[in-house]
Amino acid sequence: MASKDHPLRLGRQAEYFRNEGRELDIVFLQEVWTPEYVKLLSDAGADAGLTHITTFDGGVFGAGLMLMSRYPITDMAFRTYSVKGEPGALEGEAMAGKGIGYARVVLPSGAAVHLFNTHTHANWVHSVKADEQLPDVKVPTDSFAPFRTAHMLDAVAFMKPIVDAAAAAGELVFAGGDWNVPCDNLEACLLQSLLPCLKDSWQAAGHAPLDPEGNTCGCPTNVYTGSIIGGYVPERIDFIWTNARVLCCEAVLRRMPGTELNYSDHHAVEVTAACKVATQQTNKNGGRMTSVKASATMPTSESPSAEPSSKIGGSRAAAVHAEATTTSYMPPAYSVEPGTASGLPGPVAEARVSPAASFGSKDGTRANPSIASPRGPLPGPEDPGHPARRARLLHLARRQLQDGLAAAALRLKGFKSRGWLSAAVSVVALGVVYYGIMANTDHWAKRLCAGVSALALVGSTTYGLYMVPMSCMDTASRRGLEQLGRMADVWLRVAEEEAEAAGAGPAQGKNVAVAGKSA
């Protein structure tokens, strides 16, 4: 209902994917709300070879998440966020089924790629303040901030086991979507700290974190900027987080050719990444295959073979382009046990991201010293994954959740009070209507009072019944916030123990982190 020019825009988006989709491997989409547009975009993607398509759904309005892949999807899952939004708010977030979707795809070489697609709670106010201990972290102060923090913690909890296992196995991860937070806000810093192996593709490509060229939302040149409640602030809130080597990242899908309109109120993000993946060699004695661990370093002239370049794309505002190169060699003293998966013909079921891979600019150097090296944590607490910094961020997150709990308790109290007031009005109105029916007099005042009371009875009863689901939704929000708080407490305890083991207590760690970031 709030979307403008959607038939034209979605038609042009389908045209874009039908033509340009031949250069993409994965497309993440958000806010694909209707089956009509799911089919429109699916047909366009299939025409471009993006034949493996799935949606992630939940809630009353749905999640609006869609993923198109050139390669087979072998596993998938979806987690609806346990905290929705403020019940009764005009934005309707509480009625949407927002969450995070997961899909595992396998490239022709056998390399496994783990994909996450999400759309978190919108930021309608954009009010922030710098943290006292971490001045590089902007802490949101709007009333919706607890929901965004809750969504980020929920997303991390869902991603963490998969991402950690993928990192240990050297497999690729891409997490794209509309995250609705800038890179220096608490929510994004939480993700960077809790999942330090994932990097912001924009920064990993060598761009400054707040370079306005990377802004995806609120751009003055976008005709849909400020066209809905709350307005916009120019910022980069659409990300693709990855552990791959990023070659290029840019904002695309801006203005539709031949028109003065934009594809969306958000621009897309396109990322080009590269890695070497495992291939197999046939043993002359019996055709057994040997898998070779891959390297995420750039291909060299010594690479004997290479797959066609591949791209991973995403949208409502996210797109990724990925290049994969293969190596085929037999390492010394490497054997395969008969009967194992890697000893059988067929594609290798594993890929490796080399621990020596370098992130940053196209020449392989780290463009931003605040980006952690994949070789391990940086020596100082400026590393996003430093336990003292992580502990401080989790303290801030807990404070946000507590603010959300206090607000939910206040709303719940208001819902109950209004519910009892509606019940009282309904009883009085019912009594007046009954009197109007039973009284012997037929005076016009009796008829007027009975009519007004009948209307009041209907209105108060309807409003009282409306308070019931609102109270239930707020109770569910409160429980969700409490559960996320318990989870954050566990992470916080672990971070504090790690900080103490590293020789700095939590308070010392916070101060050192400030000094490190300032330096």
- Over pLDDT 70: what percentage of the chain? 74
Higher pLDDT, 510 or 32: 32
User: Are 354 and 486 found together in one domain?
Assistant: no
Q: At what angle do helices 444-501 and 506-518 cross, to 10 degrees?
A: 90
User: Are 284 and 416 found together in one domain?
Assistant: no
Report pLDDT for 230. 53
Dihedrals phi, psi of 341, to nearest 5 degrees: -60, -40
Q: What does the alpha-carbon distance between residue 377 and residue 160 come to, in Å, rounded to a whole number? A: 18
Is residue 298's pLDDT more than 80?
no
User: Are 52 and 105 found together in one domain?
Assistant: yes
3-class secondary-structure state, position 486: helix
User: Are 58 and 201 found together in one domain?
Assistant: yes
Q: Which of 337-341, 418-422, 431-435 has the lowest mean pLDDT?
A: 337-341
User: Are 359 and 425 found together in one domain?
Assistant: no
User: Are 93 and 196 found together in one domain?
Assistant: yes
pLDDT in tens, 125-183: 888 999 999 999 999 998 899 999 999 999 999 999 999 999 999 899 999 999 999 99
pLDDT confidence of 94, banded at 50, 70, 90? confident
Q: Which residues, including other chains, have CB under 8 Å from residue 189's CB and lie 6 or more apart?
A: 134, 137, 384, 393
Q: Is residue 372 in a domain? A: no
User: Are 414 and 291 found together in one domain?
Assistant: no
Rounded to 5°, the CA angle 516-238-160 comes to: 65
Report pLDDT for 21. 86
Looking at the DSSP bridge assignments, the partners of residue 251 are 269
Report pLDDT for 447. 76
User: Are 43 and 93 found together in one domain?
Assistant: yes
Q: Which two tokens stand for residue 363?
A: 């020449």
Q: Which of 231-240, 336-345, 396-405, 414-423 has the lowest mean pLDDT?
A: 336-345
pLDDT confidence of 67, banded at 50, 70, 90? very high
End-of-domain residue from the set 363, 379, 405: 363
What does the CA dihedral 155, 262, 125, 467 come to, rounded to 10 degrees?
-70
Q: Is residue 374 in a domain? A: no
Residue 302: count of CB within 10 angstroms of its CB: 7
Report pLDDT for 113. 95
Q: Is residue 385 in a domain? A: no
Total-model pTM = 0.77
Q: Which of 14-23, 85-94, 191-200 has the lowest mean pLDDT?
A: 85-94
Q: What does the alpha-carbon distance between residue 62 and residue 212 come to, in Å, rounded to a whole number? A: 32
Helix, strand counts (H, E) of the chain = 8, 17
Q: What mean pLDDT value characterizes the chain?
A: 77
Q: Is residue 378 in a domain? A: no
Report pLDDT for 85. 80
Which residue from 197, 241, 247 is spatially nearest to 360, judged by alpha carbons? 247
pLDDT in tens, 477-486: 889 999 999 9
Q: What does the alpha-carbon distance between residue 509 and residue 496 come to, in Å, rounded to a whole number? A: 9
Report pLDDT for 92. 74
Q: Is residue 388 in a domain? A: no
| DSSP letters for 11-41 | HHHHHHHHHHGGG-SEEEE----SHHHHHHH
pLDDT in tens, 11-52: 999 999 999 888 999 999 999 989 999 999 999 999 999 999
Q: Is residue 49 in a domain? A: yes
The CA-atom distances, in angstroms, between 89 and each of 93, 197, 411, 470 are 8, 37, 12, 10
Q: Report how far apart the first and last C-alpha atoms of the chain are (Å, whole number).
A: 49
User: Are 292 and 427 found together in one domain?
Assistant: no
Instruction: Please check whether residue 156 is in contact with residue 190, taking contact to mean a CB–CB distance below 8 angstroms.
Output: yes
End-of-domain residue from the set 323, 345, 363: 363
Phi-psi region of 258 (alpha: psi -120 to 50; beta: other; left: phi over 0): left
Q: What does the alpha-carbon distance between residue 28 and residue 33 come to, in Å, rounded to a whole number? A: 14
User: Are 253 and 319 found together in one domain?
Assistant: yes
Residue 343 one-letter amino acid:
G
Q: What does the alpha-carbon distance between residue 109 and residue 305 come to, in Å, rounded to a whole number? A: 12
Q: Which two tokens stand for residue 102?
A: 């997961």
Query: Mean pLDDT across the stretch 454-464?
Result: 86
| DSSP letters for 198-264 | -EEHHHHTT--TT-GGG--BS-TT-TTTT-STT----B--EEEEESSEEEEEEEE--BPTTSS-BS-
Q: What does the alpha-carbon distance between residue 445 and residue 41 come to, in Å, rounded to a whole number? A: 63
Q: Is residue 500 in a domain? A: yes
Q: Tell me the residue length of the chain.
A: 519
Q: What does the alpha-carbon distance between residue 395 and residue 358 come to, in Å, rounded to a whole number? A: 31
The CA-atom distances, in angstroms, between 348 and each of 55, 280, 290, 292 are 28, 7, 9, 9
pLDDT in tens, 196-238: 999 999 999 999 999 999 999 989 889 888 765 556 789 999 9
3-class secondary-structure state, position 54: strand
End-of-domain residue from the set 344, 363, 382: 363
Query: Mean pLDDT across the stretch 82-101?
Result: 82
Query: Mean pLDDT across the stretch 511-519?
Result: 35
Is residue 317's pLDDT more than 50?
no
Query: Mean pLDDT across the stretch 255-276?
Result: 90
Residue 357 one-letter amino acid:
A
Q: At what angle do helices 6-20 and 35-47 cross, to 10 degrees?
A: 20
Could you tell me the CATH number of the domain that includes residue 288?
Answer: 3.60.10.10
Query: Mean pLDDT across the stretch 249-262?
Result: 93
3-class secondary-structure state, position 508: helix
Query: Mean pLDDT across the stretch 452-459?
Result: 86
What's 376's DSSP letter?
S
Rounded to 5°, the CA angle 366-371-372 comes to: 100
Query: Mean pLDDT across the stretch 90-103?
Result: 84
Query: Mean pLDDT across the stretch 384-391?
Result: 87
Q: Which residues, including other chains, have CB under 8 Å from residue 438's CB and lie 6 or more apart?
A: none
Report pLDDT for 175. 97
Boundaries of domain holding 136: 6-363
User: Are 305 and 421 found together in one domain?
Assistant: no
Report pLDDT for 412. 84
| DSSP letters for 420-485 | HHHHHHHHHHHHHHHHHHH-S---HHHHHHHHHHHHHHHHHHHHHHHHHHHHHHHHHHHHHHHHHH
SS3 labels along 320-382: EEEEEEECCCCCCCCCCCCCCHHHCCCCCCCCCCCCCCCCCCCCCCCCCCCCCCCCCCCCCCC
Higher pLDDT, 353 or 391: 391
User: Are 157 and 200 found together in one domain?
Assistant: yes
Dihedrals phi, psi of 449, to nearest 5 degrees: -65, -40
Q: What does the alpha-carbon distance between residue 253 and residue 362 come to, in Å, rounded to a whole number? A: 23
Q: Is residue 190 in a domain? A: yes
- The number of distinct structural domains making up the chain is 2
- Tokens 């120019």 belong to which residue? 234
Is residue 192's pLDDT more than 90?
yes
